[in-house]
Amino acid sequence: MQKMRFHHVGIPTDRKLPDADYNASLKIHGAGYFDTPYGIEWHNFDHDNPLPEIIKSTPHVGFVVDSLIDAIKGKEVIWGPTSPAEGVMIAFIVDGDALIEFLQFDRPEQEVWPHPTKFQI
């Protein structure tokens, strides 16, 4: 099994989140990931968001992997692989009752999602 590194916990919410962290192609607001070093990210989905219902309603844990294809091989993939931003590929799987997101970066994450304090724990 390849190495995995904890990245974040994603939590769906109905509360309004800042427009600054909106991904128009995915129709999703995200907030909190850069606010603390703990990797908690809140998600709010547009009413016409096309993602599978389980992603919109179930918390998930995200892990960085070296090979996304190897990580999802033989798993129950429910969405992806896809690229939500240049420099990163993601996929979601279900393992038992757990929703898991795998992320593969093609360069250091700080270059993909720059933020002055996130990666200084």
| Domain coordinates in residue numbering, the chain | 4-112
Q: What angle do CA 87, 101, 116 make, to 5 degrees?
A: 50
CB atoms within 10 A of CB 48: 6
Tell me the pTM.
0.89
Calculate the dihedral angle through the C-alpha atoms of 77, 22, 41, 120, rounding to the nearest 10 degrees. Answer: 110
pLDDT of residue 16: 87
Q: 4-112 domain in CATH 1.10.10.10?
A: no
**pLDDT at residue 121 in the model:** 43
User: CA-CA distance, 59 to 107, in Å (whole number)?
Assistant: 27
Give tens-digit pLDDT for 76-121: 999 999 998 889 999 999 999 999 999 999 988 877 877 765 555 4
Q: pLDDT: is 68 or 39 the higher one?
A: 68
Summarize pLDDT for 10-64 with one digit per residue, the tens.
999 998 887 778 888 889 998 888 787 788 999 999 999 999 999 999 999 999 9
Q: Determine the pLDDT at residue 117.
A: 59
User: In this predicted structure, what is the pLDDT of residue 102?
Assistant: 98
